Structure 1
């Protein structure tokens, strides 16, 4: 026997066995812990009461658009932190036949608004004026949005849709531990801003003898009465009727500038969605005055050439690529984006592959690109935190992604006691003064300056994703400036890292927004060695317990048609499906 031949033959056999073993390992499917599963309908929102009302509307034969009205209005009752008639929002939809669209019912600056209304005699910004109290309030758009959606896409009578919402306001909702903490923390602020006690301060102050506890029920009969008038009289009730008059009287009493003319002139606007691609996915996003669709498209284009799935989820190289793309997209956001009815925005250029390639030319894995060296891109011929989201897929195949907001927590903190809801502080989303950051640290330029009847720029990013021409995902989140990056990473978690919907929304997240030049990480979720490696490359790291990078709610359509609801672990969010 020739032993000299056996030795190399052994090496060859061993190599073949190892190779086959590797191939076998690669073929093993990744084990996924799924969230809520359902055969035909799924509703995911910030509160169980709202999700259940939406699901019941679907069970009664209503469609996704009927359900979204029920969910949105129910959040006014059970989630006043962000859901309110006193705010506005955006909705992106995809019908079962593939038709897509979006509606903008973002708040507007009052007619009496001026570009310097928040500046002192020295020209310095007075931050409190745009963030608290009556001057911070933009003209609300929620009711106009709901009725516009109902008129075009709804199938059930509005009064029938609102019936369970009115019942919820009358019978009350259970205060969760999260809500109890928020009400307690803000009770004194509510009293101070309103000059009187409110429904959400009584029982939550240290001085109160009878205290509201987690698990107790809060009723809002005043809001029920407001909703009943709206159900009977339609959109005009809010913008011209008794409710409008009460709202204007309340605003003027507290020093606001919103008038009946402001309310009467308000209209929601149907807009063409931003459509882009990432690998084999079609991304359908919200156009300006939301910055979400444009920024999301930009970031996807910038990261597409890189092999994130090979680098690994939340690995050093993946974080670098995503952070640097975010840095550049947010720099462009600050300069180019605003209300399209007031600005000529170069959207097609911003979301093009050529522009994305150019923006990433100076990126290197060796070290961070300082934000001081990253300005907005050069385009020839061009001069110049709190929210809530829900996702719905109905039994007919329609899908909606809707994000609505008051801006900050409880908005301006101004509570219309005769109407039963908080009012927004969306005026802070304008560039109060170019170069001065807003409450989320975002810098704005002339494109987003205050002008009468103008819509302020937003980060809300309701998004629908198609795969191979079919509905694949509907997703969105609250979170102020972190909304865009949270939606981005959730989609990537499923598309590149093979996660299910629940895993994807629960996974640790990070955020960069150009300025301040800091990468924010959810605390206690990223390893020290990873963070040290990033710091060594020049990245400024921040971990704060108070930072929550969104509360994502989404629905994923599995290959067999089953729906998976992902309700973020960071809140009281709940998926309900059948």
Structure 2
């Protein structure tokens, strides 16, 4: 996961608790004898990266916490002891039934008695409650050492996974300097690598800033065209240059500069699309899954934007026997075969190839925006795999360029383009037939997004009178609450 923090005194910080490749991982570990990718990067024990969530939350609490650690863990323990299944949860179980049946420890919990949970059923995860109890009592060491660590390693050994006790003990969350850039006199604070989110968001903004979107008009053909053209250029650079900063030197300062944005913008025609095959990285040779976002502002005005994930729905499909939690399949976010797409269709390069101990690149984009006076304006983020960055950009633009309120901005129809595959994707009902045809005349391929929705933005906006307005996307059934 990733966390961006801005305190009311102006202090900013970002915390990287992304998973890491186990020490026994190797560059070509997912290639078969023919050099083709196997499904081992997405399903099963080999797909699991060293987990980072507990380390990240513990690090944040140690630096900024105001309540006891046990108090913070208690609500999760209560949920693990039982809650009523809602429609959204029942649907996710049904959609993932095949994966849930792959491993007995997972099937026993999520398909009790061999049956799919239904709306209104009482769902219990007692092994998970026990694991959370150990975390509540021992903090960081309640996960990375002791019984829970023993259970993780035993699960890995039983299924041919790579994570060892040494991998767990050596895992550390990393404090990093946030990405900071301006967009139309607003200051944007976002996540640096190993998340690609902040840098790619900045690259998009520096290209788009040269156009008067308000005059062009929201969701006009020209608006969607310019978004797609800017996004494909930003993603081309993202996929070539960005990676774990502990392993690669990246041209970050140049990539998010005003000058480079102007260079990229100069290659955009207002009349026709540039084929993605002609849009390469511009700086020379490089040296919806199961994601959750929450935005928080407290009574003092301290703001936190957090995005976390286990990647696919139900991650690797593997549940730690005796501990009750599903393990991630984050190893698929590496370039398991550079130049070929991962499960989200992202075609990435050598910079993100697998190396022991390396953090895989992410699209997560927790972001905080300040107004022209330096006051808090927006706390925002989204799940959505490769669409996360474009989801967050559209929310920023909806508020800053088009003057939308937070709720209208969050719930407005969204589109997506990620360079490869070369297509604009849209939600059901999101684009009119006339708009689609106009984009096709300009040379764009326009396709319906395969799921009913793109992303799930969660945002808080500070209104001119200082009131906080929260908005939870209608797409996935979240909620906004105040106190």
TM-score by length of 2: 0.97
Question: 1: distance between equivalents of 2:388 and 2:280?
Answer: 22
The equivalent of 2:218 in structure 1 is 313
Q: Deviations over 1:383-423 (max 9, x none)?
A: 43321100000001100000000011111111123111110
Q: Does 1:384 align with 2:294?
A: no
Matches within 5 A, 1:139-538: 139-170=50-81, 172-194=82-104, 197-202=107-112, 208=115, 212-379=117-284, 383-386=286-289, 387-467=291-371, 468-538=373-443
CA contact (8 A) 2:459 2:471 kept: yes
Higher relative contact order (CA 8 A, sep 6+): 1
CA contact (8 A) 1:501 1:565 kept: yes
Specify the SS of the correspondent of 1:404.
strand
* Change in 2 beyond 3 A, CA 1:514/1:545: closer
Task: Report the Cα offset of residue 166 of structure 1.
Answer: 1.5
CA contact (8 A) 1:187 1:202 kept: no
Question: 1: distance between equivalents of 2:109 and 2:126?
Answer: 11
Specify the SS of the correspondent of 2:3.
strand
The equivalent of 2:458 in structure 1 is 553
CA contact (8 A) 2:96 2:313 kept: no
Question: 2: distance between equivalents of 1:339 and 1:545?
Answer: 30
Task: Report the Cα offset of residue 192 of structure 1.
Answer: 1.6
Task: Report the Cα offset of residue 191 of structure 1.
Answer: 1.6
Instruction: Give RMSD over aligned pairs.
Output: 1.3
Deviates more, 1:529-538 or 1:414-423: 414-423
Task: Report the Cα offset of residue 485 of structure 1.
Answer: 0.1
Question: 1: distance between equivalents of 2:332 and 2:452?
Answer: 20
Question: 2: distance between equivalents of 1:534 and 1:316?
Answer: 6
CA contact (8 A) 2:189 2:368 kept: yes
Q: Deviations over 1:282-315 (max 9, x none)?
A: 0101000100000000000000010101111111
Q: Does 1:123 align with 2:35?
A: yes
CA contact (8 A) 2:370 2:377 kept: yes
The equivalent of 1:63 in structure 2 is none
Specify the SS of the correspondent of 1:290.
coil
The equivalent of 2:481 in structure 1 is 576
CA contact (8 A) 2:380 2:458 kept: yes
* Paired residue total: 481
CA contact (8 A) 1:335 1:445 kept: yes
Of 10, 14, 26, the residue aligned with 1:102 is: 14
Question: 1: distance between equivalents of 2:145 and 2:108?
Answer: 26
TM-score by length of 1: 0.82
CA contact (8 A) 2:249 2:287 kept: no
Specify the SS of the correspondent of 1:121.
coil
Question: 2: distance between equivalents of 1:125 and 1:176?
Answer: 37
Task: Report the Cα offset of residue 194 of structure 1.
Answer: 4.2
Task: Report the Cα offset of residue 216 of structure 1.
Answer: 2.1
Task: Report the Cα offset of residue 365 of structure 1.
Answer: 1.2
Which consecutive aligned stretches of 4+ in structure 1 deviate over 4 angstroms post-superposition? none
Q: Deviations over 1:4-37 (max 9, x none)?
A: xxxxxxxxxxxxxxxxxxxxxxxxxxxxxxxxxx
Specify the SS of the correspondent of 1:338.
coil
CA contact (8 A) 2:241 2:286 kept: no
Q: Deviations over 1:514-535 (max 9, x none)?
A: 0000100112121110110000
Specify the SS of the correspondent of 1:343.
coil
* Unmatched segments (≥5 aa) in structure 1: 1-88
Question: 1: distance between equivalents of 2:105 and 2:60?
Answer: 37
Question: 2: distance between equivalents of 1:157 and 1:195?
Answer: 32
Question: 2: distance between equivalents of 1:302 and 1:194?
Answer: 50
Question: 1: distance between equivalents of 2:52 and 2:366?
Answer: 17
Matches within 5 A, 1:34-73: none
Q: Deviations over 1:128-152 (max 9, x none)?
A: 1100000000000001001100100
Question: 2: distance between equivalents of 1:426 and 1:213?
Answer: 29
Deviates more, 1:222-231 or 1:388-397: 222-231
Larger Rg: 1
The equivalent of 1:37 in structure 2 is none
Specify the SS of the correspondent of 1:422.
coil
